[in-house]
Amino acid sequence: MIKVLQSGFYSTIQDIGRFGYQDYGVPYSGVMDKQAATIANTLLGNHENNAVLEITMTGPKLKFECDTLICLSGASMNPQINKNYIPNNKIFNVKKDDVLSFGKLDSGFRCYLAVLGGFNVEMVMNSRSMYQNITQQSSIKKGDQLAIKNSTFNYKMHHSNLRVNTSYIDNLTLEVYRGPEFKYLSVSNQKKILSSRFTISKYNNRMAYQLEEVLANNLDSIITAPVLPGTIQLTPSGKLIILMKDCQTTGGYPRVLQLSESAIHSLAQKITGDKLQFKCL
């Protein structure tokens, strides 16, 4: 078990996501930055779908009530075990009563904590991803007991180094595909959306990121149609909304662009005021 001494700003248990239930209006959910989560799980020898703790902006304070192995990846939040700083992307052996805490956010926005064997919270619709009204909790809270395996007995520590490319965290260029309604944009708007630099607004979360700049929208709303994480919608007011992992499954705004998977990982590490631009594949 891991006891939550402090919850941090917003920390949730996530795996790859909840698939096959979108016809019922259930979001995909899952880790926002799959690349970082996969790195942490892979270094531990976990399956890529083992549940991890997604930590947003400020970290929690966690007390381990059993021995295990951990790995952190993604945003740099100055993690510490018993007040001793540890780096990301490296395996650490933690003992019973050890305390993991976090300091100042240096880069990125979301950090991922993987434990050997994954977090064993409730499974709902074939996923452990927390989401309001689907799982009992939508985030971890102070006093929670998070179930993990007490298992380091058969694990062999590896001493080889893995070079992890984290440049995507600071990447300002997001690769996109043209969306179904892109062709209906005016030629000037098509050029503008693919040549302008946009600013992330304060309205950003696991559901969607809004951008500050406004386009002159000449498109009508569409009949409700399927949307996915990474779909970029153009609202009647000219705002661009980029849907993320907890987004709805259908929408009525024109779908002008679609983020590539790697672009979703990069965007998940962006914060209010960050700049970005789109590059069409």
Taking only the tens place, the pLDDT of each residue in 214-223 is 998 888 878 8
Q: What string of DSSP letters covers 218-242?
A: -PPP-S-EE--TTEEEE-TTSEEEE
pLDDT bucket at 152, cuts 50 / 70 / 90: low
Q: How far apart are CA 3 and CA 86, in angstroms?
A: 20
| Same-domain check for residues 47 and 159 | yes
| Same-domain check for residues 134 and 10 | yes
| Same-domain check for residues 150 and 177 | no
| Same-domain check for residues 67 and 101 | yes
- How far is residue 54 CA from its own chain's centroid? 7
Give the tens place of pLDDT for each residue, 84-115: 999 999 999 999 999 999 999 999 999 999 99
Query: Across residues 45-74, what is the average pLDDT?
Result: 96
Query: Across residues 250-276, what is the average pLDDT?
Result: 96
pLDDT above 70 covers a percentage of the chain that reads: 96
| Same-domain check for residues 216 and 107 | no
The last residue of a domain, from among 150, 167, 184: 167
User: For residue 23, which phi and psi values (nearest 5 degrees)?
Assistant: -60, -20
pTM over the 0.85 mark: yes
| Same-domain check for residues 199 and 116 | no
| Same-domain check for residues 33 and 98 | yes
Give the sheet arrangement for strand 92-94, strand by strand: 10-14, 52-56, 107-115, 68-76, 92-94
| Same-domain check for residues 158 and 55 | yes
Where in the sequence is the domain holding 246, given as residue range(s)?
171-280
